[in-house]
Every structure is written in structure tokens, then in C-alpha cells.
Structure 1
Amino acid sequence: MAKINRLTKAVNIFQKFPESIRTFALSKAMGNVVKYAGTSGLRYEKLTPTECIIVIPNRKKVRNHIGSVHAAAMGLLAETATGFMTGLTVPDDRIIVIKSMHLEYLKQASGDMKAVATYSDEQVEYIKNNEKGDINVPVVITDGKGIETVKATMIWAWAPKRK
């Protein structure tokens, strides 16, 4: 059985919470750890090593001049979903960093924005079995109508922590 890392252990604690408060509690805790994400009001709906679902509500703090979620906030959403999923996968003796972030805005978004990042079992094994490397993390970003409004390519890298 593969050893799970500290972040996964911490997130797993929230799985014991009643479903009615789980998302709120997880979002509050993660927002305290990653302050910018907390200020932006990200809602962590699912965090596992193979799927992360994060929503950014369309509220005044994150809106642009036309009333939709700001482009930079959509970048935060994509980075957070892919980063948390990678963080849940990489062993504790390694550190992760974003290597590349490319966002293409396809059309005007409306409502809340959702990012769904996923890894296949093969990708998880690749990360766990390679001390150093990088990977393109799949993420789909949709608006409140379920339309993909942003195409994102996020590349995360990992390497051994310095002693």
C-alpha cells in the first residue's frame, strides 16, 4: 500500500465531517493556509489525488469591469485546483512548483466558475515513482452555465526537498 502524504492526511480528516458542512469547513481551512485563495472565496468541493473540484463564486471581490469573474481570478482557480491535486500526489520528501501556466479565454463567462482537475492512475504512479519531473495537469474550467469558457494548460514540476 502506498504511503499517503501529510496534505492528503489533513484533507482526509474533512471526509469524516457531515456532508452538510464538509465543503464549508474544508474551504475555510484551505483558505487559512493559502491566504490569497481564502480572500478570493474559493470553495473546495472535492480534493483527492485524482480529482479536485474548486469553485470561485462570482462576487464583487473577484469581478471585472463587465461583471464576470476576473481573468486573474480564473488563473487562480486553475492554479489552485491543479496545484492542490499535485500536492496531494507528490510524496512529502519533494516540493512542487508551477512551471507553466497558459490560459486562453474562449468566451465571456457568466456566474460562478468551476475548475475540475484530474489525474489518471497512470499519472499518479508516474509522479510517485519519479523523484523529479514535471507534468501537464488536465483542468477544465466552466462557467455557471456549464460552458467551458477558459482553456488552461498547467504544468507542475517537483523535485526533492533541500535538506
Structure 2
Amino acid sequence: MSKGNQLTQLLRTVRRLPESWRPKALSFIMGKVIPFAGTAGTRVEKLEPQECIIVLRNRRKVRNHIGSVHAAAMALLAESATGFMTALSVPDDRIIVIRKMELEYLKRASGDMKAVASFSDEQVEYVRNTDKGDIEVPVTITDATGTETVKATMVWAWTPKKR
């Protein structure tokens, strides 16, 4: 892993912890960075430049009227997985923002939800080496049965910070 940005350096520190502690530590840190993710109780299972996996338990505070995870909570899951992963590659002299969210709800979800976002090595390099740009990031969201319940694509943009 290259020197990277502050998030990359923070991840390097978390990797020094025992493996069983890492998801809780990552989830706590990312919940402080993005308070809504912390409030909802997202759990960061894996965070790497090429992949991010986030889980959201089906608990009362994130449920809809039919007892499954609320559509807005699934959108948060998709945004968090793609955003955290993209943020690992954006240098500290740039700011990252979401430009577009596309979510297609395929079927009723059952139980806990899992979002998996991924980049190729070429996409990571593009984000790292492009001063101002955007990238489309697909994310797969599955329920406790492993069924894909939401098909989502997020577009993340970055631009140099104003001095």
C-alpha cells in the first residue's frame, strides 16, 4: 500500500490491532467520520482500496413498516461502501462528494444486509492520479439469504480543495 492519504494511514494503524478487533475499530472510526453511518450501526467488515464490505443488521432503528431494512438505510449502505473505498484513493489535497445515486430495489429483503463495492487496480490508479474527476462505482447489496435485493451505482467526484 502506498503512503496514501490520512484515511490510508488510519487504516494502517487499525491493521496493527488483533484481527477480531478490526471491524469494530473501523466501524467506530467511520461512524465518527460519517455520523449517520454510525447512528445507523453500519459495520465495516473490510476496507481496502479495491474492495469495501459493510454490513447493516436488521434492527428496529433501521426497519421500515414491513419489518425489513428501510430503503434509505440500504442507500446509506451503498453510499458508505462506495464512498469509504473511493476515499482511500483520493489524495488529501482533494475533496470527495457524491454526485449521483442510482438504486433499483429488486425484491423484499430478509434479515441483515451486506454491501460489497469493488475497484480494479486501474480504477484505483485513476482516482489517485486524476486531479479533478468522477467515477461510477457499482455496489452489490444482498440480504441474509445471499439474494441480491438492490442493484446500485454511485458516482463519486473529487476536486482540488480551495486554498
Establish whether TM, by shorter chain, passes 0.5: yes
Tell me the matched-pair count: 163
Matches within 5 A, 1:45-84: 45-84=45-84
- Which contiguous aligned blocks of 4+ residues in structure 1 show a shift greater than 2 angstroms? none
What's the % identity of the aligned pairs?
A: 68
How far apart, in 2, do the equivalents of 1:27 and 1:129 lie? 28
How far apart, in 2, do the equivalents of 1:115 and 1:91 lie? 24
The answer as to 2:21 corresponding to 1:38 is no
1:97-134 residue CA offsets vs partner (Å, 9 max, x unmatched) = 00000100000000110000100000011111210111
How far apart, in 2, do the equivalents of 1:125 and 1:32 lie? 27
Q: Displacement, 1:16?
A: 1.2
- Could you tell me which residue of structure 1 aligns to residue 156 of structure 2? 156
SS at match of 2:144: coil
How far apart, in 2, do the equivalents of 1:31 and 1:69 lie? 19
How far apart, in 1, do the equivalents of 2:156 and 2:54 lie? 18
1:123-147 residue CA offsets vs partner (Å, 9 max, x unmatched) = 0111112101110012111111111
- Could you tell me which residue of structure 1 aligns to residue 13 of structure 2? 13
Change (3 A) 1:33 1:129: closer
1:16-65 residue CA offsets vs partner (Å, 9 max, x unmatched) = 11122211122122212221111100000011111000001100000001
How far apart, in 1, do the equivalents of 2:33 and 2:155 lie? 22
- Could you tell me which residue of structure 1 aligns to residue 146 of structure 2? 146
- Could you tell me which residue of structure 2 aligns to residue 89 of structure 1? 89
Q: Displacement, 1:2?
A: 4.2
How far apart, in 1, do the equivalents of 2:32 and 2:92 lie? 21
Q: TM-score, normalised by structure 2?
A: 0.96
Matches within 5 A, 1:99-118: 99-118=99-118
Greater alpha carbon shift after TM alignment, 112-121 vs 22-31: 22-31
Q: Displacement, 1:154?
A: 0.4
* 8 A contact 2:3–2:9 mirrored in 1: no
Structure 2: any 5+ residue segments left out of the alignment?
Answer: none
* 8 A contact 2:43–2:56 mirrored in 1: yes
Give the partner amino acid of 1:69.
V
Greater alpha carbon shift after TM alignment, 145-154 vs 23-32: 23-32
Q: Displacement, 1:71?
A: 0.1
How far apart, in 2, do the equivalents of 1:146 and 1:20 lie? 23
SS at match of 2:11: helix
SS at match of 1:122: helix
- Could you tell me which residue of structure 2 aligns to residue 129 of structure 1? 129
Q: TM-score, normalised by structure 1?
A: 0.96
Structure 1: any 5+ residue segments left out of the alignment?
Answer: none
Greater alpha carbon shift after TM alignment, 125-134 vs 21-30: 21-30
